[in-house]
A and B are shown apart, each in its own frame.
Chain A
Amino acid sequence: MKTLKPVNVAIVGGGWTGLAMAKEITGRTSLSVLILERGAPRKTSDYAAGMDELDYAIRVRMMQNIADETITHRHSMRDAAVPVRQYGSFLPGSGVGGAGEHWNGHSFRFLETQFVLATHLREKFGAAHLPENLSAQDWGVTYNDLEQYYWRGEQMMGVSGKAGNIRGQKLAGGNVFEGPRMSEYPLPPLKTTYAGLRFKEAVEKLGYSPYPHPAANASEAYKNPDGISRAGCAYCGYCERFGCMIGAKAQPTNTLMPILAKRKTFAIRTGCWVRRVVHKDGRATGVQYVDATGEEVFQPADEVVMATFTLNNVRLLALSKIGTAYDPMTAKGTLGKNLTHQVGGASTRIFFDVPLNAFMGSGALGMMIADFDGDHALSGSEGIVRGGTLSVGTSGNRPIASWGGYPAGTAKSNWGSEWKAASLAWRDKVSGVGFTGEHLAYRQNFMDLDPQYTDRMGDPLLRFTLDWTEHEHRQRVYAAEIQTKIARAMGVKFEEAHPAPVKYNVVQYQTTHIQGGAVMGASPETSVVNTNLQHWDVPNLWVIGASAFPQNASGNPTLTALALTYRAADAFIAPHTSRSKGAA
């Protein structure tokens, strides 16, 4: 194996968190930083020619090639795991910028109670009234600790929205259930569509508090504190699974890379597949990877930062034999514990009598309510301890995926003349009131290495043991009742949702919010990394990203992953302040 010239910091993964870390370190110290990215380089000018639904949204061309690496899944320890052979329930990104290139731009702050969830739930409901096998944990940091870092992320991306709580003052039109923020959003909200207006009017009639989705899709031209300028959103409808062709959606390649590319202490190598973090006597010494030519190389480094997607952060730790594997039987060990996804899926379909022109849209464009988020609306009699948000979104309907919507019973078959006529009659008139709920962590949902299936290199795949519980079913039932109320108040034709208990399904897309496995916390007994995202056993190894979330909130994870990264960067940089160069 070839050994390369040492660097100060090797970062595995060139997505949001890896690039944000690199920018902070190279901006505020003289350390040399190298990013190893498995995928290809990317830039804004690539993206106009990628506005193709088939290749990018259906065949998911921007994702990791699943032929090279996937996960296996089983519903419980009693079952045999099989590989996820084609993408379905979530879509891991690849290439410079990672999934931050083809995300929708939803940029939420998590509720204050989320960060102290275990303590909060015990206090509010009593330990005896919590769901069976709950393994909720406090994060070890509070909302107040993170506020300044949230703000840094929002400014960097130019988040568009309306604040509902500034320094404790509740403001109509924003999310009044949110923790206090120090400032209004950097940009005003995106424009509102017809469907969004109808939702807004209906929930206001019901006494709820609607607000526009906070969006990293810039509502107008924006210059961030780093001096990076971006255009305002064109509402073209090609966000999710696409890179933004005008750079209006904040992406790592249009916010962080332009700065990093100019720094002499920064380098990024693409096509590099990291297979192991090399360590000795409790210190990481570098990373071992296969480069674009297929050669196996060792890159020595003083510090290693793992900034890949949740799946690979956890898998790389396991393959590198760092930490103690979690054992669900004894609940001992920490690596792989608290695997969570997101609770959604049973939206109430609504049918308008007029066209929506829903081919127009933006990734995070929509109206929502947080009246049933967290547990502020729950008394304990509902059978659930956490809820979620409800919304109508308009992210842009593309013709293949949106074809075939009509009220149940309008056509007997899903092919043929009658089906075609029904689909044409209801074309562009169908939408949905959706629910996005918190997914609690349970003792039995975890990740480990699969004993049978391997990746292209011959390394074991990551195995998910994951299923929905009664709590998630009840969350969906709870949400469906509210969805019905809203749909009725909207005055549209709708289909009442009656969610049946379901098993976890790898085929249907849900969200790409996979959390946990290398969770953060205040004690090495219950967490993999400390509150600075530093590995408890290997202090010069930093494991950043949503793998650190002890459980999932209702909001999308990116902004919180970024906030934690900024906080980790401050801790990383502190010992090097003698060499500090000031602002990043």
Chain B
Amino acid sequence: MRRREFLTVPAAALGGTLLYTLAREPMRLQAQDGSVNIPLRFFSAAEARVITAACARIFPTDSTGPGATEAGVVIYIDRQLAGPYGRDKYRYTKGPFVESVPEHGYQGKETPREIYRAGIASLGGFADLAPEKQDATLRSMERTTFFQMLRSHTIEGMFCDPMHGGNAGLIGWQLIGFPGPQMSYRDEIDKHHGLPYRPKPVSLQQVVGHPVHGWEEEKDS
């Protein structure tokens, strides 16, 4: 087993309730000097740095509000790739692998893990480029499976339940006014016509009152 690597981020940059939302492995979290070390499950620290930078261009932190960095999107992607999804446990992977028409979707043999590894390698020193250069690089690879996957995963990491590692501190849901999985709107559904109704967001764990594990935590059978 390879030595576990860590992503080191300033505590203030993530959500705002980092220790709570990442509390799944609390022993490994170290909030020292205003920064925390998050154990990585799949990425190396260098790879995580590249993905963090790319996600920050896809869903930027700007005048309209927080983005992928604050939501911890890279942590979400790391966990997805480490779990069964990353190894294609839920995709039909018998051969032969034949390229087909676009209506048949991705027909390749490579797993999400392999697509990311190759994609990150192709990005090289991306994390150290100026933002305009980073955008131009991403623009040139928009049609690749890797970029399309990265873009989808960035949105997922922004707006998933925090148990998956993204949407830290419910920052994504706060950004868009999504209240999370609430038990009932029976008295609200036909009211508030034309007006915003924005209950305070809650996570699934808060709603059901006990920890809930994502599919990515499932061990291989």
Instruction: Point out residues on A near B: beta carbons under 8 Å.
Output: 48-49, 51-55, 58-59, 61, 65-67, 70, 73, 75, 80, 82-86, 88, 191-194, 197, 232-238, 245-246, 354-355, 357, 359-362, 398-400, 403-404, 413-417, 420-421, 424, 427-428, 452-454, 503-507
Contact = CB atoms under 8 A, between A and B. Distances in A.
B193 A507 contact: no
Contacts of A88: 105
A49 B190 contact: no
A117 B123 CA distance: 58
A53 B100 CA distance: 30
B160 A400 contact: yes
B58 A354 contact: no
A354 B195 contact: yes
Contacts of A414: 151
Contacts of B154: 415
Contacts of B204: 49, 51-52
**Best-buried of A399, A417, A452 by chain B (most CB within 10 Å):** A399
B106 A238 contact: no
Interface of B: 57-60, 62, 64-65, 67, 85, 88-94, 96, 98, 100-107, 135, 138-139, 151, 154-156, 158-161, 163-164, 172-173, 175-179, 181-186, 188-190, 192-197, 204, 207-208, 210, 212, 214-215
B151 A415 contact: yes
Is chain B's binding surface mostly helix, strand, loop or mixed? loop
A193 B107 contact: no
A240 B210 CA distance: 24
B178 A359 contact: yes
A194 B193 contact: yes
A196 B186 CA distance: 16
B161 A233 contact: no
6 contacts: A52-B204, A83-B107, A85-B93, A193-B190, A232-B186, A400-B155
Contacts of A417: 60, 62, 64
A362 B190 CA distance: 12
A75 B105 CA distance: 14
A193 B188 CA distance: 10
B90 A65 contact: yes
Nearest to A55: B215
Given A48-B207, A236-B184, A414-B151, A355 B195 contact: yes
Given A84-B92, A357-B192, A420-B67, A400 B159 contact: yes
B103 A59 contact: no
Contact of B194 (A80, A194, A415, A427): A194
Contacts of B90: 59, 65-67, 86
Nearest to B159: A399
Q: Top 8 A-B pairs ranked by shortest CB distance?
A: A51-B181, A234-B184, A399-B159, A354-B194, A507-B105, A360-B185, A235-B189, A505-B103
Contacts of A404: 155
Contact of A427 (B135, B139, B176, B189): B176
Nearest to B216: A55
A51 B189 contact: no
Given A54-B164, A88-B105, A232-B186, 6 more contacts: A70-B92, A82-B98, A82-B104, A233-B186, A355-B197, A362-B189
A359 B181 CA distance: 9
Given A54-B161, A66-B91, A354-B194, A416 B107 contact: no
Contacts of A505: 103
Nearest to B189: A235
A507 B104 contact: yes
A394 to B, nearest CB: 9
Contacts of A53: 159-161
B190 A238 contact: no
Contacts of A427: 176-177
**Best-buried of A75, A233, A236 by chain B (most CB within 10 Å):** A236
A191 B190 contact: yes
A399 B88 CA distance: 24
Contact of A67 (B88, B105, B156, B161): B88
Contacts of B189: 191, 193, 235, 360-362
B33 to A, nearest CB: 31
Contacts of A503: 101, 103
B83 to A, nearest CB: 10
Contacts of B104: 73, 82, 84, 506-507
